[in-house]
Amino acid sequence: MTNVVRVGLLGLGTVGTGVVSIIQRHQEELQHQVGCPVEVRKVLVRNKNKARNIELAKEIVTEDIEEILSNPEIDVVIEVMGGMEQTKEHIARALQAKKHVVTANKDLLAVHGAELLKIAAENGCDLFYEASVAGGIPILRSLSDGLSADRITKMMGIVNGTTNYILTKMSQEGSSYEDVLKQAQELGFAEADPTSDVEGLDAARKMAILASLGFSTEVSFDDVTVRGISAVTEADLHYCEQLGYTMKLIGLAQRDDNRIEVSVQPTLLPTEHPLASVHNEYNAVYVYGEAVGETMFYGPGAGSLPTATAVVSDLVTVMRNMRLGVTGHSVLVPLHEKVLKEANEIEAKHFLRLRVLDKAGTFSTITSLFAEFEVSFEKLLQLPVEGEEVAEVIIITHKTSEENYEKLYQRLTALDVVESVESSYRVEGGN
């Protein structure tokens, strides 16, 4: 039986520092839970001489990856340095050397997760990645353990704190996207290059991981329909509020008869929906199961200690498995073949904002086109634009197929009475 678990840590940035801090400060609790101590034996960094706000013996810090991957004394490799191809190689080598791996790397898992899980299974190793999806929220463990007896039919949630912060401030303060983004960058909520966050790429990678685990299939980043928030305006949010909705960047994974859809896009939610009250940098995931019904997981989606807590929780699971001699049995082979829905199988309601000519016959022309595609109105606002011979028409549709809606949208843009289609968003929830 293992008397001590020795860890090699790849990366000593924000999350890596948090991991070391938790292991150092919570040693008594960790020993109590798994029956043996855990030691950080080696830490890989780019620059050994860089000043850091964590105390580590000089001999522990290294710039040489071989001191971890080729070290027979290292039992578990924790990867928190990010990156893709080189990091994939490091993790694959660690698993092939019979070292267990814990990672927070959502980009890597969304693209190469199935391959790495296969390598882990072949070598009798554990590969855990709880921190890759929602920081401190234990959503993956809840799906694989707590809800393992149920059949998950839908997961939807806010899985990117940066975009949620931006949309919260735009809605509450009436500020422009550009002004709030700049504020978020100054506060450290957004990167200097915010593309991955604001264009939905970060959330899409997380949804690919969630869908793969929740639906027991292999969903990749390329399977996710993605749209970001950079085109959202103050006017859009104002009209959403008038109609009783709140806008969030929502990741959605839905399964119907083993045919799935996965998307990330700005989405309107009724103001009474639980996700509508998730503000600022917080994350939340709503899970629908056939047996349990509806559950929601809420908490901080990023940050040093919340994310590090998820990493160390995975480490505790590895340590327990090592002590029990059951490592390598947690890797689940996908049960279902991936079958993505076609456009005619995806149904949703939509928000549509038009600028139209303010004259007799305009509304009749528009309603006739909607009737042609069998799309009906759930809610409607028509407001004249002061000083212009145009009006704004805001519509919430009833459910229709994506195929029908796309055809309707294209025809609307070509109508003589429609000056412009200002915006269009998906709507979730409500009757």
Q: Which residues are catalytic?
A: 206
Among residues 22, 26, 57, 27, which one has the least CA distance to residue 42? 57
For 337, phi and psi rounded to 5 degrees? -70, 140
Distance CA(422)–CA(231), nearest Å, equals 10
| Exposure string for 174-183, b = 16+ CB within 10 A, e = fewer | ebebeebbeb
Which residues have a Cβ under 8 Å from the Cβ of 328 and sit 6 or more positions away?
120, 121, 123, 124, 125, 126
Classify 104 in phi/psi space as left (phi over 0), alpha (psi -120 to 50) or beta.
alpha
What number of other Cβ atoms are within 10 A of residue 215's Cβ? 25
- The alpha carbon dihedral of 213, 217, 220, 224 has a sign of negative
Whether the Cβ atoms of residue 91 and residue 77 lie closer than 8 Å to each other: yes
